[in-house]
């Protein structure tokens, strides 16, 4: 993966969503750089879409998470670090974290589409299953109609509103080929025992006004992960962008608490 690093201090990894990639974390990185070494990565599918490169036939969530691991190795980040991940990036990061628990100090997941958790618990009803499969396998390219369908399916745009009228539409159109990855979301599977064995602190964030399937995933993860906490904040599927100040406040509080728990003998 490509990576951008800014600032000095304790490392903080920001993993983006699967549509517009690392630009979503740019304002956060600028605000955090005075006190943190902020690392932003570009998911493979986003970069391939921008370069109009084909998606490999063996593309998977595991391919993305292994690329993330190799990128952190290349940056010399071999110890436990704080990680924040959103949407598709949250699904990738969850796989990375379960593979590498010793390299995670704390983990924040914002509405990851981990539909496998619902499938494993028998909660993946037909309506949720349909939402997890849109758009269908489109490795040949994503049309503007498919882009709009996706934006409705994840709650970026209310069903009664045209996404094409939103100010973000030109940006979304530019990045629409990133969505060629969508087919791997519903295909990805994992073992709930790996969740139950994960002993790092996890903050799970719901966006108020987002879609029910993503909230159900958060609730299911909260049951399985031993040290999980759930909060809600305004902003639909992008609460960390819409409510950036509140998000950063909650992030800092959570990460400080996680650090204190890992170092109980620190003098306050």
How much is the mean pLDDT over the chain? 91
pLDDT in tens, 100-129: 999 999 999 999 999 999 999 887 766 555
End-to-end CA distance of the chain: 39
CA proximity to 257, closest of 218, 200, 205, 219: 200
For position 122, what pLDDT does the model report? Answer: 84
Mean pLDDT of 74-81: 95
Quote the pLDDT of residue 112: 97
* Residue in the structure block whose two tokens are 């914002």: 110
Which has the closest alpha carbon to 38: 252, 265, 268? 252
For 137-152, the pLDDT digits (tens) are 566 789 999 999 999 8
- pLDDT(266) > 70: no
pLDDT tens digits along 229-242: 999 999 999 999 99
- Strand ranges for 10-79 from DSSP E: 10-15, 36-42
The string of DSSP codes covering 87-109 is HHHHHHHHHHHHH-GGGEEEEEE
Angle subtended at Cα 118 by Cα 115 and Cα 123, rounded to the nearest 5 degrees: 135
**pLDDT, tens digit, for every residue of 193-219?**
999 999 999 999 999 999 999 999 999
CA distance 32 to 51: 29
User: What's the pTM?
Assistant: 0.92
Domains and CATH numbers, the chain: 2-262 (3.40.50.1820)
Tokens coding 114: 């981990």
Side-chain half-sphere CA neighbours of 250 within 13 A: 23
């Amino acid at each position: 993966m490509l990576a951008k690093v800014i600032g000095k201090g304790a490392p903080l990894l920001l993993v983006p969503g699967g549509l517009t990639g690392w630009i979503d974390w740019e304002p956060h990185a600028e605000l955090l750089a005075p006190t943190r070494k902020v690392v932003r990565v570009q998911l493979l599918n986003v970069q391939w879409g921008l370069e109009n490169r084909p998606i490999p036939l063996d593309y998977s969530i595991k391919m993305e998470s292994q690329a993330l691991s190799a990128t952190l190795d290349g940056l010399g980040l071999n110890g436990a670090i704080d990680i924040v991940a959103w949407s598709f990036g949250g699904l990738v990061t969850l796989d990375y974290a379960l593979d590498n628990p010793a390299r995670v100090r704390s983990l924040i997941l914002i509405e990851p589409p981990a539909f496998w958790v619902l499938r494993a618990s028998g909660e993946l009803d037909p309506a949720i299953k349909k939402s997890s499969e849109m758009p269908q396998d489109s490795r040949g390219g994503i049309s503007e109609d498919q882009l709009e369908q996706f934006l409705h399916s994840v709650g970026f745009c209310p069903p009664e509103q045209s996404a094409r009228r939103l100010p973000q539409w030109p940006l979304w159109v530019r990045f629409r080929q990133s969505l060629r990855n969508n087919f791997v979301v519903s295909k990805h599977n994992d073992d709930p025992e790996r969740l139950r064995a994960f002993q790092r602190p996890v903050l799970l964030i719901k966006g108020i006004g987002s879609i029910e399937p993503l909230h159900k995933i958060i609730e299911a993860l909260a049951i399985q992960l031993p040290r999980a906490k759930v909060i809600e904040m305004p902003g639909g599927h992008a609460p960390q962008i819409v409510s950036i100040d509140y998000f950063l406040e909650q992030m800092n509080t959570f990460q400080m608490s996680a650090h204190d728990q890992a170092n109980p003998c620190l003098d306050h």
